[in-house]
Amino acid sequence: MKIQIINGPNLNLLGVREPGVYGSASFEVYLETLKNRYPEIEFAYYQSNVEGEIINKIQETGFSFDGILLNAGAYTHTSVAIHDAIKAIKTPVIEVHISNVHAREEFRHQSLIARACKGVIAGFGLDSYRLAVEAIKG
């Protein structure tokens, strides 16, 4: 089984960025624990701060991978183009958030991508990604 993880803008700063909200671990370190926990799964990881590059990665992996875990960061709340990219592919996409976006500012309560996704997992810290792996595994 092949799972693509895509992290959007500012998520390259995990561990440094607002640790009270996003925790103090870097994603690279967390990814190693995920790989160790699921040795049978092949994980690919991609991070970009650029909307079009995220769309390119969704298109590139969206016909061959078994699942995509997408934390689109702030583009979650703004991007019709990412919504359309998810609709255009075959691979199921799980929308992932580290923080509970519904317990935060009102502008984070709306997701433009959720309706194109298989489901949404938010609010469990980095463990949200593991829960999304479980969702793909079924």
Interacting residue ranges for ligand DQA, rule: CB under 6 A: 10, 71, 73-74, 76, 97-99, 101, 108
- How far is residue 50's CA from residue 42's CA, in Å, rounded to a whole number? 25
The smaller minimum CB distance to ligand DQA, of residues 40 and 105, is found at 105
Spacing of C-alpha 128 from chain mean position: 9
Q: Which CB atom, from 24 or from 90, has the smaller least distance to ligand DQA?
A: 24
- In this complex, which beta carbon is closest to ligand DQA, that of residue 6 or of residue 89? 6
Residues annotated catalytic, as ranges: 22, 97
DSSP state of 15: T
Q: CB of residue 87 vs ligand DQA: minimum separation in angstroms?
A: 20
Q: Shortest distance, CB of residue 44 to ligand DQA, whole angstroms? A: 19
Q: Are 57 and 6 in contact (CB under 8 A)?
A: yes
Query: In DSSP terms, which residues pair with 93 in a beta bridge?
Result: 68
Please report how close the Cβ of residue 123 comes to ligand DQA at its closest, in angstroms. 8
Instruction: Assess contact for 127 and 3: CB atoms under 8 A.
Output: no
